[in-house]
């Protein structure tokens, strides 16, 4: 790698951008031979600026300035780290706009959670992750799982991006089972349906572990929307016949009761964990509820790959979006 490319990478890393995001944005046409070309170096900077949400002119002077800074609102971010906020919002808005460009659809309606639940249950046994993804795409809300993250420390659960009245959802929460991601997605759909992005281009839900304080009103509303959508009530009364139970016995009960009440069994187990604070056994029960353990992001992004029209994007943008969805080594 040339000294010019090294300097540029150092500037980007110094601005808080992760190596994986830089690798995804780095153009495939770049070679060390272009280092001696002023036009080649300029085009490299403009290319990186477009993909990472940076202002190109400051970058020409090797100073990084984010385009979409101060345009997102952050939930659960206790430390007001402006560098992290700028990197996340600019990267997320750029990716979200590409998704909306590659998926045509009208703005979503403001749908009551019970109305949406009843609509889903007409064609599905439960409101689960796959049915929520299907709903999102049908309503013109692209949904992907980020495999390239703009920060070295991955702490974002999800982000909703708005552009001209349309929305895209970027998931960041990893899991080998659908239920935890289904709640995250239902929560983000709640933000959309409740109009929480008014006045903002993006809303970012960080890892709750960063802030143990009481939820703000919008977070509480989105949680209530999600729980109602998944279970049919904002406050499911879930009890057990004994205060002590094993992961396997909980799984068996969740499978039986879930079928009876049309609540996805994994979501039912997580509701119990939320009510009783017995998270370890409830999370362990998921391995008995689901027949296989596999990264949820794979199904999310395979659906997205089939739904997106990459042909409407430039070759460069399509390549970048594929790397964001499937990683720089896939």
- Chain centre distance of CA 96: 10
Q: Using alpha carbons only, give the angle 282, 288, 291 rounded to the nearest 5 degrees.
A: 135
Pick the closest to residue 132 from 193, 77, 91 (CA basis). 193
pLDDT of 151 reads 80
Give me the pLDDT at residue 140, please: 93
Same domain, 184 and 327: yes
Query: Residue 284's pLDDT is what?
Result: 96
Q: Would you say 75 and 219 are in contact if contact means Cβ atoms under 8 Å apart?
A: yes
Q: What's the confidence (pLDDT) of residue 325?
A: 97
User: Which residues of 51-108 form beta strands (DSSP E)?
Assistant: 72-75
Pair of tokens at residue 329: 């080594």
Closest CA to 20 of 153, 173, 114: 153
Q: Which residue is associated with the tokens 């349309």? A: 166
Tens digit of each residue's pLDDT (9 = 90 or more) over 198-227? 878 889 887 755 444 556 899 999 999 999
Position 239 scores a pLDDT of 75
pLDDT per position as a tens digit, 69-104:
555 666 655 445 666 777 888 889 999 999 999 998
Are 190 and 73 in the same domain? yes
Q: What is the number of domains present in the chain?
A: 3
The whole-number pLDDT of residue 303 equals 97
Give the pLDDT confidence score for residue 79 in this predicted structure.
Answer: 46
Q: Which range of residues forms the domain containing residue 102?
A: 69-215+294-330
13 and 34 fall within a common domain:
yes
Flag whether 260 is in a domain: yes
Q: Do 51 and 73 fall into the same domain?
A: no
Q: What are the residue ranges in the chain where pLDDT is below 50?
A: 78-79, 210-212
- Cα-trace Rg, the chain: 21
Distance of alpha carbon 290 from alpha carbon 99, whole angstroms: 30
Q: What pLDDT does residue 125 have?
A: 95
Tell me if the pTM is above 0.85. Answer: yes
Neighbours of 310 (CB within 10 A): 15
């Amino acid at each position: 790698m040339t000294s010019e490319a090294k300097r540029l990478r150092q500037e980007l890393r110094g601005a808080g951008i992760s190596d994986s995001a830089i690798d995804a944005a780095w153009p495939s046409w770049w070679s060390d031979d272009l280092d001696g070309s002023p036009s080649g170096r300029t085009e490299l900077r403009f290319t990186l600026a477009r993909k990472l949400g940076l202002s190109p002119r400051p970058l020409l002077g090797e100073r990084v300035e984010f385009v979409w800074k101060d345009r997102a609102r952050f939930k659960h971010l206790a430390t007001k780290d402006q560098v992290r906020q700028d990197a996340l919002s600019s990267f997320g808005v750029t990716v979200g706009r590409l998704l909306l460009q590659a998926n045509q659809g009208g703005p979503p309606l403001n749908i009551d959670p019970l109305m949406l639940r009843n609509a889903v249950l007409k064609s599905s046994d439960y409101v689960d992750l796959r049915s929520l993804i299907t709903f999102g795409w049908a309503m013109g809300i692209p949904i992907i799982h980020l495999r390239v993250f703009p920060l070295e420390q991955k702490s974002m659960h999800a982000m909703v991006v708005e552009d001209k009245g349309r929305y895209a959802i970027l998931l960041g929460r990893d899991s080998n089972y659908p239920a935890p991601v289904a709640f995250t997605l239902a929560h983000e759909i709640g933000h959309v349906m409740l109009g929480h992005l008014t006045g903002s281009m993006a809303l970012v839900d960080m890892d709750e572990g960063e802030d143990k304080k009481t939820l703000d009103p919008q977070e509480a509303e989105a949680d209530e929307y999600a729980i109602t959508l998944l279970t049919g009530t904002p406050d499911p009364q879930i009890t057990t016949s004994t205060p002590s139970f094993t992961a396997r016995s909980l799984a068996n009960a969740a499978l039986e009761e879930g079928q009876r009440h049309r609540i996805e069994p994994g979501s039912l187990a997580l509701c119990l964990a939320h009510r009783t604070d017995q998270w370890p056994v409830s999370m362990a029960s998921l391995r008995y509820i689901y027949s296989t353990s596999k990264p949820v992001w794979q199904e999310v992004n395979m659906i997205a790959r089939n739904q997106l029209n990459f042909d409407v994007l430039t070759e460069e943008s399509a390549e970048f979006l594929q790397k964001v969805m499937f990683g720089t080594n896939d």
